[in-house]
Amino acid sequence: MDTTKIMAWIIIILMTVSVLGVVGGSFFSEDGNKKYNGFTFINTNNYWSLRVNGEEYSFQYLPTELENLTLPAESLDFSLGKVYLGFKPADTINWEGSLNLLAFTLYKQNIMPQESCLIEEGCPDIPIINCQENPGIIIVSGDETSYTQDQKCLIMTATDNQELTKLTERLIYKLLGVMN
The string of pLDDT tens digits covering residues 81-106 is 899 999 999 898 889 999 999 999 99
Distance CA 88, CA 81 (A): 24
Whether 98 and 160 share a structural domain: yes
Asked if residue 110 is part of any domain, the answer here is yes
Angle of the 161-176 helix axis to the 96-108 helix axis, nearest 10:
10
Whether 87 and 146 share a structural domain: yes
Distance CA 103, CA 111 (A): 9
- Pairwise pLDDT comparison (147 vs 81), residue with the higher score: 147
- Over residues 164-172, the mean pLDDT reads 96
Asked whether the predicted pLDDT for residue 25 surpasses 90, the reply is no
Distance CA 110, CA 139 (A): 22
Domain count, the chain: 2
Question: Sorting pLDDT into bands at 50, 70 and 90, what band is 26?
Answer: very low
Total length of the chain: 180
Residue 22 confidence (pLDDT): 45
**Parallel, antiparallel or unpaired: strands 55-59 and 153-158:** unpaired
The CATH number linked to 96 is: 3.30.379
Asked whether the predicted pLDDT for residue 30 surpasses 60, the reply is no
> HSE on the CB side for 35, CA within 13 Å?
3
- Over residues 109-122, the mean pLDDT reads 94
Asked if residue 41 is part of any domain, the answer here is no
Asked whether the predicted pLDDT for residue 10 surpasses 80, the reply is no
Whether 151 and 77 share a structural domain: yes
- 3-class DSSP state of 165: helix
* Residue-range definition of the domain harbouring residue 84: 66-176
CA distances from 22 to 16, 64, 97, 127 (A): 10, 25, 31, 50
- Over residues 42-66, the mean pLDDT reads 95
- As a whole number of Å, the end-to-end CA separation of the chain is 67
Which amino acid, one-letter code, is at 177? Answer: G
- 3-class DSSP state of 111: coil
| 8 A C-beta contact, residue 132 and residue 152 | yes
